[in-house]
Amino acid sequence: MIRRWQLESGRVSDIIKSKKLYEDLVEFHWRYYSELAFQRRRIREELNISLRNAAAAFQFSGWQRVVKYKYSLDPLSAKGSLFDPGGRFNVGAIDPTRYPMFPALYLAADKGTALAEVIGRDKDVGSLTPEQLALTKPDSISAVSVTGKIEAVVDIRMSRNLSKFVSLIKDFKLSKPLISEAQRLGSPLKLITTVTELRTVLMLDNWRNWPTLYDVPAGCQVFGAVAANAGIEGILYESVLTGRECLAVFPQNFLNSSSYVELSDPAPSDDVRTRMDSANFAKFI
């Protein structure tokens, strides 16, 4: 007896409707981003000042930088962060005509966290930790120990460092047509009004959904752009995978600064650039 199973069925009209819905969602998210971007521009200097006032110097030693194997001879380069969609706090090649790209150098306090952040995208599965999951992946990688000092770092783990920023954006409004479109598409809108809500957005597990599905930067990337434009040199945060310290560094802001990041150990070749500072940061971005 021959058995048959129907795996999937549909009509051509359904495909057309799905395509139209997706196009509507992409356009909707672009309008959503644009309305908020316009309001941020109106208070740009106030936002910049709020982050500058929250910034402080941060010094580290024996931290870790993990890179894919092809970047082994240039481990301090931030150019890899520019690939689509970028990193948590920097915008990559999502759509350069709309969203300016800018790099970030990502570091972690320990090797397990650095490894998990680079290739261990999943949270705990069964008895495996993010670090152990990363070790099960066949990717070729390089890990280096780094030391440095960053003059202007915003520690987003501290609520007081975000309170003024939130007070400036909590009264943002959305247009009635956009709200109506959100209702039609079943895509609820929520504006940030508290520090807790901002920190939730900054540390979302699935932040890549926005740039990947809708071609717009995620909220954490938008925050990173505001920080970078304000002259902030780094954002200190907790890994969502391990709960340990991570640092996103913006080397493009090293000009006229004493900030630096350098390899803690001797390099295997004189061709390896071992230090990034105000004199040479442009070569790393």
What is the DSSP annotation of 115-179? HHHHH--S--BTTB-HHHHHHTS---EEEEEEEEEEEEEEETTSTHHHHHHHHHHTT----HHHH
Q: What's the mean pLDDT in 2-13?
A: 54
Q: How far is CA 169 from the centre of its chain?
A: 20
What is the average per-residue pLDDT within 32-48? Answer: 97
Residue 125 in this model has a pLDDT that exceeds 60:
no
Residue 205 CB burial class (10 angstroms; 0-12, 13-18, ≥19): exposed
Place of tokens 């505001």: 226
pLDDT class of 201 with cuts at 50, 70, 90: very high
pLDDT of 217 higher than 80? yes
- pLDDT above 90 covers a percentage of the chain that reads 78
- What tokens appear for 39 in the block? 């309001």
pLDDT of residue 63: 98
| Per-residue model confidence (pLDDT) at position 173 | 96
CA distances from 84 to 90, 93, 247 (A): 10, 4, 20
* pLDDT band with cut points at 50, 70 and 90 for residue 278: very high
The residue-averaged pLDDT of 215-223 equals 97
Residue 236's beta-bridge partner residues? 155, 247
Per-residue pLDDT band for 152 (boundaries 50, 70, 90) equals very high
Q: What would the mean pLDDT of 140-166 be, rounded to a whole number?
A: 96
Q: What is the DSSP string of 250-279?
A: -GGG-TT---EEEESS--SSTTS--EEETT
Q: Which residues contact 158 (CB under 8 A, 6 or more apart)?
A: none
Mean pLDDT of the chain: 90
Task: Judge whether residue 127 has pLDDT over 80.
Answer: no
Q: Among the listed ranges 2-6, 74-78, 170-174, which one has the minimum average pLDDT value?
A: 2-6
98 and 34 in contact (C-beta within 8 Å)? no
- State pTM to two decimals: 0.88
**Residue 10, SS3 per DSSP:** coil
Given this model, what pLDDT does residue 69 score? 86
pLDDT at 9: 52
Give the other-Cβ count within 10 Å of 17's Cβ: 11
Residue given tokens 């152990």 in the structure block: 132
Residue with tokens 């007896």: 1
User: d(Cα 168, Cα 39) in Å, to the nearest integer?
Assistant: 10
91 vs 96: CA distance, rounded Å = 9
